[in-house]
């Protein structure tokens, strides 16, 4: 039940029930007044809203009934024009006055009202295209960016130099070589094969090539150890007694460790009447800090002198200072780049060369031999932007002789190590004669590092495969072993 109706003081017309209608008054009015008096609406206590009755009912009507004389409402229908009843306190969802209904008459479901703007779908980019404003698609982490063809500059002013996919002198990345470890390797069995190849009259060079060019350097060291353990003889000495010429040089080189081979090549470049500056710069400009430290250590154990001492006594002037800087193995190997420092180094190189009379070679040494590969690639790019010249061309204008060759070699190794070696191989074979020491050194030292990529660069630069160049420039077993190291034609 609802709240009780509070007692009210008498109101209305207390004497309405005794109201006397004058004679001659309209009978219809007289009857209406009588009915009203009998209903009590204008009596002493007129009926108000019935307790708990719904709002909107007429005075005096009992709950659930319409006022006396009102026409009945249609069943289960709201009065015409009245909004549907809403929960208490919730405003009815109404359109603004004059607005079209939410669904026009006859419009199919899900369609916009006539004249309303069409609902827009979220923008979907075409296949293979990023949505507007979205960041560019990233390559999977570690995936290498495409490198520039060897020998090309970083582009015009402000162009972006792209780091090569293989590491430069700041750290070699293995895995792209042509010689791999053999699965199911048996060192003793290989030692027996080599002994049979040298036993008796003549030598089975094919057996030697098949074994040594299909095993990694680590496996070849195990073969040499097994040979000495089984037969009490040194494998290298036995092979040298059986072989000769360039074929012998390749076979012996394959049985040295990479550090031993680098040291033997440096010794050969320094001793004697002249110095093979190209060999020195090739090794020192292309090796990582760790490899250079190992070279220094082994060199001293073999010669009882430091490599730096022998370089200083065998070379001169600014080229000597360049080699000494490289043989320290002190290059920064970080991959982060500080653009403020990049801009400063580019300005310093410009000030040390083209913007002065003479050249401050020491400034070139400290920057080119000490900064990281990632940093220097940006320096070369910035240098081209502010000077309008490529760094290699500037070096060639400012320097000469061995110093020029050395500085350019450093820049080329930093930009594209594989392109640098491809060029070296080409120059060792082009024209009359062959520079076999360079050809052998690169084929042996890079066959487990990046010779596959060097082959690719060679074909791109010169339009012919490395395999075809070697086949046309060498002969006999020497050609066969080099082609086996090459690993195939492109």
Model confidence at 304: pLDDT above 80: yes
Question: 332-415: same fold as 187-243?
Answer: yes
pLDDT tens-place string over residues 464-484:
999 999 999 999 999 999 999
Give percent of the chain with pLDDT exceeding 90: 59
The Cα–Cα gap between 191 and 224 comes to 7
Q: What is the pLDDT of residue 166?
A: 44
pLDDT digits (tens, 9 = 90+) for 260-281: 999 999 999 998 777 899 999 9
Flag whether pLDDT at 45 surpasses 80.
no
Compare 386 and 61 and report the one with higher pLDDT. 386
Candidates 258, 151, 136, 241; CA nearest to 195 is: 241
CATH top-level class of 332-415: mainly alpha
The pLDDT of 126-147, averaged and rounded, is 43
Q: How far, in Å, CA of 153 to CA of 156, rounded?
A: 8
The model's confidence at residue 354, banded by pLDDT at 50, 70 and 90, is confident
From the number of C-beta atoms within 10 Å of its C-beta (0-12, 13-18, 19+), residue 417 rates as: buried
Cα separation values, 7 from 11, 16, 17, 44, 55, Å? 11, 20, 21, 12, 20
Record the pTM.
Answer: 0.67
* CA-to-CA separations, 346 to 332, 350, 361, 381, 403, in angstroms, rounded: 17, 6, 14, 9, 20
- At residue 141, the pLDDT reads 38
Q: Give mean pLDDT, residues 90-94.
A: 46
Chain mean pLDDT for the chain: 78
User: Which DSSP state fits 199?
Assistant: S
Highest mean pLDDT among 57-66, 98-107, 419-428: 419-428
**Contacts for 314 with CB less than 8 Å, ≥ 6 apart:** 270, 275
CATH level 3 topology of 187-243: Annexin V; domain 1 (1.10.220)
Residue 301, pLDDT score = 98
Tell me if the domain spanning 418-490 has CATH number 1.10.3720.10. no
Chain position carrying tokens 């001793």? 271
Q: Name the percent of the chain in helix, strand, coil, to the closest 5.
A: 50, 0, 50
pLDDT of residue 359: 79
The pLDDT tens digits of the residues spanning 219-274 come to 999 999 999 999 999 999 999 999 999 999 999 999 999 999 999 999 999 987 77
Query: Which of 389, 383, 319 lies closest to 348 in space, CA to CA?
Result: 383
Please report, for the chain, the start and end positions of each structural domain, with discontinuous segments joined by +.
Answer: 187-243, 332-415, 418-490
Model confidence at 218: pLDDT above 80: yes
Residue 144 CA to its chain's centroid (Å): 7
């Amino acid at each position: 039940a609802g709240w009780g109706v509070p007692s009210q003081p008498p109101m209305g017309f207390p004497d309405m029930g005794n109201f006397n209608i004058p004679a001659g008054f309209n009978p219809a009015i007289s009857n209406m007044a009588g009915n009203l008096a009998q209903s009590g609406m204008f009596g002493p206590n007129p009926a108000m809203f019935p307790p708990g009755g719904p709002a909107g009912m007429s005075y005096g009507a009992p709950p659930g009934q319409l006022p006396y004389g009102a026409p009945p409402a249609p069943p289960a229908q709201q009065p015409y024009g009245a909004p549907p009843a809403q929960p208490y306190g919730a405003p009815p969802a109404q359109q603004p006055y004059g607005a079209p209904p939410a669904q026009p008459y006859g419009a199919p479901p899900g369609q916009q009202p006539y004249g309303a703007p069409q609902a827009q779908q979220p923008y979907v980019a075409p296949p293979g295209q990023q949505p507007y404003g979205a960041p560019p698609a990233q390559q999977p982490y570690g995936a290498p960016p495409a490198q520039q063809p060897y020998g090309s500059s970083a582009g015009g002013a402000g162009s972006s130099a792209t780091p090569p996919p293989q590491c430069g002198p700041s750290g070699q990345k293995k895995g792209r070589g042509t010689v791999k470890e053999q699965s199911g390797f048996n060192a003793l069995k290989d030692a027996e094969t080599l002994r049979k190849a040298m036993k008796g009259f003549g030598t089975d060079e094919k057996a030697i090539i098949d074994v040594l060019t299909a095993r990694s350097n680590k496996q070849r060291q195990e073969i040499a150890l097994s040979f000495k353990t089984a037969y009490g003889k040194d494998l290298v000495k036995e092979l040298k007694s059986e072989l000769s010429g360039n074929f012998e040089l390749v076979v012996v080189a394959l049985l040295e460790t990479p550090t031993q081979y680098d040291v033997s090549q440096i010794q050969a470049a320094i001793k004697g009447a002249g110095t093979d500056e190209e060999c020195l710069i090739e090794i020192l400009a292309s090796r990582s800090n760790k490899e250079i430290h190992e070279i220094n250590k082994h060199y001293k154990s073999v010669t009882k002198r430091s490599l730096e001492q022998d370089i200083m006594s065998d070379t001169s002037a600014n080229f000597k200072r360049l080699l000494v800087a490289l043989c320290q193995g002190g290059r920064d190997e970080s991959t982060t780049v500080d653009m403020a420092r990049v801009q400063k180094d580019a300005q310093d190189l410009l000030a040390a060369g083209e913007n002065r009379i003479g050249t401050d070679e020491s400034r070139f040494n400290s920057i080119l031999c000490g900064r990281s590969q990632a940093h220097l690639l940006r320096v070369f790019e910035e240098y081209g932007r502010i000077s309008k010249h490529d760094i290699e061309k500037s070096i060639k204008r400012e320097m000469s002789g061995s110093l020029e060759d050395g500085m350019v070699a450093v820049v080329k190794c930093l930009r594209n190590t594989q392109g640098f070696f491809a060029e070296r191989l080409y120059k060792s074979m082009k024209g009359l004669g062959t520079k076999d020491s360079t050809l052998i050194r690169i084929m042996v030292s890079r066959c487990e590092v990046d010779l596959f990529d060097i082959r690719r660069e060679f074909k791109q630069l010169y339009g012919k495969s490395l395999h075809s160049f070697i086949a046309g420039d060498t002969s006999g077993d020497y050609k066969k072993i080099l082609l086996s190291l090459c690993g195939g034609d492109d």
